[in-house]
Amino acid sequence: MNKYTIKEFNKQYPDEDACLDAIFRNYYGDMKACPHCGVVDAKFYKLNNRKAYSCQHCRYQIHPLAGTIFHKSETPLKSWFFAIYLFGTSKNGVSAKELERHLGVTYKTAWRIAKQIRSLMQQDSNLLSGTIEADETYIGGKYSKRQGSQFDNKTAVVGIVEKGGNAKAFATKSANATNTIPFLKANIEQGSIIHTDESKIYTRVKRDFDHAFVNHSKFEYIKAGVHTNTIEGFWGQLKRSLDGTYHAVSPKYLQSYVNEFVYRYNLRDVAVAPVLIQQAGKRVL
């Protein structure tokens, strides 16, 4: 993974003006002319004590934070950028409590910042291809003998991962063929090979894809190159992080946390923080 150190971060974003300028250049850097007066190569200068830029010809003002995750936030941009840096360099996620300590803000503000940053970490629409591993896992809840099933109080997460490539996953009330098969068909390129375990969820996969499986109930974990070790490794990282960093995540917000770890997994070979900072300057509202 390419490293992006705190020294590099502070050098690139030393103060509020540097952070604001980065957002302005990110969104308006390719602007050929002033959108108001039409002057080509018009120069925009920052207004004193305001998070805005003005055209030197017509005084037209641009507010680069409008519509971004920073919109109407009273938290300094430097603090926002540092929070993004933490999310981008952490392997196990960043809790709101940790942001509260680092940024010196209230827990409510820290929670909102974390939620907004996580909203940037969406899964893309690209199809996975080649050899794909598919599996499901269960998050949260406590097993009670009274409930009868160890999964009754948990939320299912279904995931797919290319061997050596990218991943996708979604949270659902229960993992079954009805919601899993459409997910596979919508996110995997035709002609791909799918590896699973012996679960009945995947019985119908062979109708649309080449399908091979290992039988875990018979202690079969790899057979002629067929296994689900990659996706199980992803589940292990997800669960360790949810348990160790976030401790508990409600089903209502679980998908956003799943998105976070899919995003980080897919960018595991690059420095995530600069990518996130660039995304943060785009319109999302």
Identify whether residues 161 and 58 lie together within a single domain: no
Identify whether residues 52 and 172 lie together within a single domain: no
Domain membership of residue 52 (yes or no) is yes
Closest listed residue to residue 84, CA positions, set 230, 229, 260: 260
Domain membership of residue 1 (yes or no) is no
Domain limits at 184?
Answer: 131-266
Identify whether residues 139 and 98 lie together within a single domain: no
223-227 long-range contacts (CB < 8 A, ≥24 apart) are 226/195, 227/133, 227/195
Closest listed residue to residue 210, CA positions, set 189, 229, 193, 227: 193
What's the pLDDT score for residue 51?
Answer: 94
CATH number at residue 189: 3.30.420.10
Identify whether residues 224 and 152 lie together within a single domain: yes
Query: Alpha carbon of 205 to those of 104, 126, 187: distances in Å?
Result: 51, 20, 13
Count of Cβ atoms closer than 10 Å to residue 178 Cβ: 10
Q: CA 274, CA 34: separation in Å to the nearest integer?
A: 28
Percent of the chain scoring above 70 in pLDDT: 95
| pLDDT-based confidence at residue 155 (cuts at 50, 70, 90) | very high
User: Taking 70 as the threshold, does the pLDDT of residue 176 lie above it?
Assistant: yes
What is the residue-wise DSSP string for 161-182? EETTS-EEEEEESS--HHHHHH
**What would the two tokens of residue 61 be?**
């003002």
Domain membership of residue 216 (yes or no) is yes
Domain membership of residue 285 (yes or no) is no
User: Taking 70 as the threshold, does the pLDDT of residue 208 lie above it?
Assistant: yes
The string of pLDDT tens digits covering residues 241-281 is 999 999 889 999 999 999 999 999 999 999 999 999 999 98
Identify whether residues 189 and 173 lie together within a single domain: yes
What's the pLDDT score for residue 30?
Answer: 86
Identify whether residues 11 and 44 lie together within a single domain: yes
Structural domain count of the chain: 2
Q: Is 64 in contact with 27 (CB distance < 8 Å)? A: yes
Closest listed residue to residue 163, CA positions, set 189, 193, 184: 193
pTM over 0.85: yes
Identify whether residues 103 and 192 lie together within a single domain: no
Domain membership of residue 27 (yes or no) is yes
